[in-house]
Amino acid sequence: MKIVMLGAPGAGKGTQAKMIADKYSIPHISTGDIFRANIKEGTALGLEAKSYMDQGKLVPDELTVKILLDRVAKDDCANGYVLDGFPRTIPQAEVLKDALAKLNDKIDYAVNVDVPDENIVKRMSGRRACVTCGATYHIEHVPPKTEGVCDRCGAALILRDDDKPETVLNRLKIYHDQTQPLIDFYTNEGILKTVDGTVDVKVVFENIISILG
Residues that bind ligand AP5 (CB under 6 A): 7, 9-15, 30-32, 35, 52-53, 56-59, 64, 85-86, 88, 92, 123, 126-127, 136-138, 141-142, 162, 171, 197, 200-201, 204
Closest CA to 142 of 122, 128, 161, 162: 128
Output the smallest distance, CB 166 to Zn ion, in A: 27
Given the complex with ligand AP5, which of 71 and 127 has the nearer CB atom? 127
What residues between 10 and 69 interact with Mg ion by CB under 5 A? 14
Given the complex with Mg ion, which of 14 and 87 has the nearer CB atom? 14
From 63, 133, 159, 212, residue interacting with Zn ion (rule: CB under 5 A): 133
Say how far residue 66 (Cα) sits from the centre of its chain. Answer: 17
Output the smallest distance, CB 13 to Mg ion, in A: 5
- Quote the CA–CA distance of 134 and 34 in Å, as a whole number: 9
- Quote the CA–CA distance of 144 and 49 in Å, as a whole number: 28
Q: How many residues bind Mg ion (CB under 5 A)?
A: 1
Task: Work out whether 132 is an interface residue with Zn ion (CB under 5 A).
Answer: yes
- Quote the CA–CA distance of 62 and 121 in Å, as a whole number: 29
Given the complex with Zn ion, which of 47 and 153 has the nearer CB atom? 153
Say how far residue 53 (Cα) sits from the centre of its chain. Answer: 14
DSSP states along 64-101: HHHHHHHHHTSGGGTT-EEEES---SHHHHHHHHHHHH
Given the complex with ligand AP5, which of 92 and 112 has the nearer CB atom? 92
- Quote the CA–CA distance of 54 and 171 in Å, as a whole number: 10
Q: Which active-site residues does the annotation give?
A: 13, 88, 127, 160, 171
- Quote the CA–CA distance of 137 and 190 in Å, as a whole number: 33
Output the smallest distance, CB 8 to ligand AP5, in A: 7
What are the Cα distances from residue 62, in Å, to 66, 69, 179? Answer: 6, 11, 16
In the complex, the residues that contact Mg ion under the rule CB under 5 A are 14
In the complex, the residues that contact Zn ion under the rule CB under 5 A are 130, 132-133, 135, 150, 152-153, 155
